């Protein structure tokens, strides 16, 4: 799902290239460390079709969506054949509920400009807080 998220624009960067790039690998390496949480969506055969998860990064090694310590960064990807079927929205809602229950006040994400997912995020309560080199950082208040 990291690969799906990184290839959002239809570019087909090879899986091994994405999974060996530190800026992508850091979102999954060493899973599941304290503070990590996520959901995997399964089809009727228990095959994963999408996932959304969050983790936190220190100020000294921030992720794309870093807005402060103790603000988890969200990543989401759905397999192409399953997109536009409500999987992404369901995952976002589950994950926000989970973050709220865990006591987080905010969660953040980074989205490249031009990705339709911005409208999905807005409709789920995320707002742009910072623009950054072709990307927007969005934050959702959880309380």
Ligand X SMILES: CC(C)(COP(=O)(O)OP(=O)(O)OC[C@H]1O[C@@H](n2cnc3c(N)ncnc32)[C@H](O)[C@@H]1OP(=O)(O)O)[C@@H](O)C(=O)NCCC(=O)NCCS
Q: Which positions touch ligand X (CB under 6 A)? A: 4-5, 8, 76-78, 83-89, 109, 111, 115-117, 120
DSSP 47-82: -EEEEEEEE---TTS--TT--STT-PEEEEEE-GGG
- C-alpha to C-alpha distance for 21 and 69, rounded to whole angstroms: 23
- Please say which residue, 41 or 143, places its beta carbon nearer to ligand X: 41
Q: Please state the closest distance from residue 74 (CB atom) to ligand X, in A.
A: 8
Cβ atoms < 10 Å from Cβ of 52:
27
Minimal CB distance residue for ligand X: 88
Nearer to ligand X, 133 or 143 (CB): 133
Q: Where are the beta strands (DSSP E) in the chain?
A: 37-42, 48-55, 73-78, 106-112, 126-132, 135-141
Least CB distance to ligand X at residue 56 (A): 17
Between 64 and 104, whose beta carbon lies closer to ligand X? 64
Q: Name the minimum Å distance from CB 88 to ligand X.
A: 2
CB of 92 vs ligand X, minimal distance in Å? 8
CA distance 143 to 105: 6
HSE of 54, CA atoms in CB hemisphere, 13 A: 27
The smaller minimum CB distance to ligand X, of residues 34 and 81, is found at: 81
């Amino acid at each position: 799902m990291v690969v799906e998220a990184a290839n959002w624009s239809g570019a087909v960067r090879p899986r091994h290239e994405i999974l060996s790039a530190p800026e992508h690998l850091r979102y999954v390496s060493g899973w599941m460390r304290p503070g990590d949480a996520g959901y995997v969506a399964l089809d009727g055969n228990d095959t994963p079709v999408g996932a959304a998860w969050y983790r936190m990064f220190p100020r000294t090694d921030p992720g794309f969506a870093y807005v402060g310590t103790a603000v988890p960064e969200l990543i989401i990807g759905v397999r192409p054949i399953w997109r536009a079927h409500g999987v992404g929205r369901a995952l976002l809602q589950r994950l926000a509920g989970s973050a709220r229950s865990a006591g987080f006040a905010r969660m953040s994400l980074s989205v490249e400009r031009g990705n339709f997912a911005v409208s999905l995020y807005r409709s789920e309560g995320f707002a742009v807080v910072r623009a950054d080199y072709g990307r927007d950082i969005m934050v959702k208040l959880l309380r």
